[in-house]
Structure 1
Amino acid sequence: MSFQITVQPSGHQFSCEEDETVLAAAMRAGVGLPYGCKNGACSSCKGKVVSGSVSHKAHQRRALSEEEEAAGMSLFCCAIPHSDLVLQAREVVGSGEFPIKKMPTRVNALEKMAPDVMVLTLQLPANETFQYKAGQYLEFLLRDGKRRAYSIATAPEGGAITLHIRHMPGGLFTDQVFSTMKERDILRFEGPLGTFFVRDDSDKPMVLLASGTGFAPIKAIVEHERASGSKRPMTLYWGGRRPQDLYMDALCRQWAAEIPHFSYVPVVSDALPEEGWTGRTGFVHQAVIDDLPDMSGYQVYACGAPIVVESAKRDFVKDCKLPEEEFYADAFTSEADLQQP
């Protein structure tokens, strides 16, 4: 049995099988519902069920609370329909512009940028084209059907594909990256995925907010904006616990020197006295609030740990008058995150 799904306000319709999630059916039909992790952890795909009924597969309550669910809100990546549905959701123009492909890739280089951060450079098959938008991610296809997602850290104009991988001790994939992986190894991935990319229909100044390796898709966005000749003002706030977490600090300072409409604010929360940190301290999203108490005319693109993204959205909207629909995010969720209740 299949059900008819209608999305408001666009009026787009698609069919969904009874054992299929709403998001999977939308992606299959080329309907651009927003999404991030696809695992019920980041809340990017949250929308309202106007009519009809759904049940939800396992998900995190921070992404969809019991109160929100009772009010008709839904995580479309986990929602299984039990009837025809009418949904209210903000569709993403351009999300299905490029085909999602599965393809092999060869490891071209491994470069350790910090004790726990590796830059992985991939070489794609010569006979394949891989198109994506700056900010999107790919998923490595591992044994036993497992997947691991990483944002692409280079702009589409850059040629090579690079990823920034943080070592998660005991991690199925990251242990391999930091121990046994070597140049010329063959991997398989699927992509491009995600709806985290710049909305080109706006000329509002952009706040780019990153924590840790959440810098990866932000890097791709800055490079793409520069390559495309965009004149939109950009301010990057990059936060880490220690100075070494800002593993491409020199590149960001170079951008600030070379791009007239780009500025950079590094923020460190737990620097040691011997590290001699003299820059901004504290929570990275608080630095934004301190600098921009009125964000009513801005767009925000945020990527990093879920707690950073959630805190930024809550406080920017509540305290700084940021329109909620102008906050775009990609919360990094590890396997450990997904195991939390």
Structure 2
Amino acid sequence: MSFKIRTLPAEHRFDVEPGETLLAAALRQGVGLPYGCRDGKCGSCATRLLEGRVDYPSGQTEALEGQPEDTCLTCQAVPVSDLVLGVREVAAVARIEVRTLPCRVSRKERLNHDVMRLFLKLPENQRLRFLAGQYLDFILRDGRRRAFSIANAPHEDAELELHIRHVPGGEFTAYVFDSMPEKSILRIQGPLGTFFLREDSDRPVIMMGGGTGFAPLKGMIEHAIHRGFDRPIALYWGVRARRDLYLADLPETWSKRLPSFRFVPVLSEPDPDWHGRTGFVHTAVLEDHPDPSGYDVYMSGPPIMVEAGRIALEAAGLARDRMFSDAFEYAAHPKAKDDGAA
């Protein structure tokens, strides 16, 4: 027997089949629930459960820690009754078709000691429609998936650009770095996620990236330039050392095309000759913006960075619905969003 789900305030209704997660059912029926990792870790899908009961057969409820008692994770929650959800739906995502397509590796480019840029070409006459900041899944031969953020802007869709970080023990990233030949044929599914640039806002923007969390922010900034944004954008990029700042000349190029753009690299383990900002990236953000309540903030990177940013920004007065995040694991783990990329 299926269960009936109602969302507030949008008053959308959809059905969930036995054993199906709320998110899977919503996506299948074109309802735009927010989501990110689909693994119960990032918290992007956290939603208020106003009526009814759910179960978590997968046991993946990491992101429930510290959340109010009436919170459910739609990517893992399976209803055991009819439900009413309090959720801010993402209509833009619901309008874009998620597709499964073959692709060819057209180019590989080593960006630094542990980041590879991969360019994917879709079949002739095929394009993947996506929002700036979304991600895609590689579907491996054994059915496992590896997710990577799309690093290019939607208008530059002749190829898809990914930034892949090599992690010791990461099977897929080892393949990308060591043995994947150009012209390899792979299978992808996308676009996925509700992390994208909100164009219907008039607020200034703060972007906070960690490591290859730079990738989706790059796509957002290049999309903003293409669209002629006049809102201020400040990009804070946290890495360990100077050598981790790959594509380091890009921000200067952006600043010439977007006068209101500001770039702040933040190093946690700086070399002695580094004279820029140091420490935690969210600390640098709040040093420059002690009252972030009037901003839209986009955070992309390891879960610990995203969660630290979320806690600190909320304590400083930023409403949760003005924070947008994409948290991913840097881990050689079969259920991580990826094993070393954005």
What TM-score comes out, normalization by structure 1 length? 0.95
Query: 1:137 is aligned with what amino acid?
Result: Y
Query: 2:124 is aligned with what amino acid?
Result: A
SS at match of 1:94: helix
Does residue 292 of the first structure (1) align with residue 289 of the second (2)? yes
Query: 1:322 is aligned with what amino acid?
Result: L
Paired residues, what number? 335
* Aligned CA distance change for structure 1 residues 156 and 332 (closer, same or farther; 3 Å): same
Q: CA deviation at 1:58?
A: 3.3
* Aligned CA distance change for structure 1 residues 262 and 68 (closer, same or farther; 3 Å): closer
Does residue 77 of the first structure (1) align with residue 53 of the second (2)? no
SS at match of 2:142: helix
Q: CA deviation at 1:254?
A: 2.1
Aligned residue for 1:155?
A: 153
Q: CA deviation at 1:132?
A: 0.4
Aligned-partner Cα distance in 2 for 1:212–1:27: 30
Aligned residue for 1:302?
A: 299
Q: Is the 8 A contact 1:210 1:218 kept in 2?
A: yes
Q: CA deviation at 1:253?
A: 2.1
How far does the alpha carbon of each residue in 1:9-30 deviate from its partner, in whole angstroms, 9 at most, with x for none? Answer: 1110000011100000000011
SS at match of 1:237: strand
Q: Is the 8 A contact 2:151 2:218 kept in 1?
A: yes
Aligned residue for 1:329?
A: 325
Q: CA deviation at 1:172?
A: 2.2
Aligned-partner Cα distance in 1 for 2:171–2:323: 32
Q: CA deviation at 1:296?
A: 1.2
Aligned residue for 1:20?
A: 20
Q: Is the 8 A contact 1:41 1:333 kept in 2?
A: no
Aligned residue for 1:104?
A: 102
Aligned-partner Cα distance in 2 for 1:135–1:323: 21
How far does the alpha carbon of each residue in 1:134-173 deviate from its partner, in whole angstroms, 9 at most, with x for none? Answer: 0000000002210000000000111321000001222121
Aligned-partner Cα distance in 1 for 2:211–2:12: 37
Q: Is the 8 A contact 1:47 1:75 kept in 2?
A: yes
Aligned residue for 1:54?
A: 54
SS at match of 2:55: strand
Q: Runs ≥4 in structure 1, deviation > 3 angstroms? A: 57-62, 334-340
How far does the alpha carbon of each residue in 1:117-141 deviate from its partner, in whole angstroms, 9 at most, with x for none? Answer: 0000111111322110100000000
Aligned residue for 2:313?
A: 316
Q: What aligned pairs does 1:1-341 form with structure 2 within 5 A after superposition?
A: 1-59=1-59, 62-65=62-65, 68=67, 71-159=69-157, 160-273=159-272, 276-318=273-315, 320-334=316-330, 336=332
Q: Is the 8 A contact 2:40 2:62 kept in 1?
A: no
Q: CA deviation at 1:278?
A: 1.4
Q: CA deviation at 1:196?
A: 0.5
Q: Is the 8 A contact 1:41 1:59 kept in 2?
A: no
Note the residue ranges of structure 2 that are not aligned, 5 or more in a row.
Answer: 337-342
Q: CA deviation at 1:335?
A: 5.0
Q: CA deviation at 1:60?
A: 5.0
Aligned-partner Cα distance in 1 for 2:29–2:120: 30
What TM-score comes out, normalization by structure 2 length? 0.94
- The percentage of aligned residue pairs carrying the same residue is 48
SS at match of 1:104: strand
Q: CA deviation at 1:334?
A: 4.4
Q: CA deviation at 1:337?
A: 6.4
Q: CA deviation at 1:72?
A: 2.2
Q: CA deviation at 1:57?
A: 3.3
SS at match of 1:156: coil
Aligned-partner Cα distance in 1 for 2:333–2:280: 20
Q: Is the 8 A contact 1:39 1:59 kept in 2?
A: no
Q: Is the 8 A contact 1:7 1:86 kept in 2?
A: yes
Note the residue ranges of structure 1 that are not aligned, 5 or more in a row.
Answer: none
SS at match of 1:145: coil
Q: Is the 8 A contact 1:39 1:338 kept in 2?
A: no
* Aligned CA distance change for structure 1 residues 317 and 16 (closer, same or farther; 3 Å): same
Aligned-partner Cα distance in 1 for 2:260–2:59: 40
Comparing 285-294 with 264-273, greater Cα deviation is found at 264-273
Query: 2:280 is aligned with what amino acid?
Result: F
Q: Is the 8 A contact 1:235 1:264 kept in 2?
A: yes
Q: Is the 8 A contact 2:61 2:73 kept in 1?
A: no
CA RMSD in angstroms, aligned pairs only: 1.5
* Aligned CA distance change for structure 1 residues 72 and 172 (closer, same or farther; 3 Å): same
Query: 1:327 is aligned with what amino acid?
Result: M
Q: Is the 8 A contact 2:169 2:332 kept in 1?
A: no
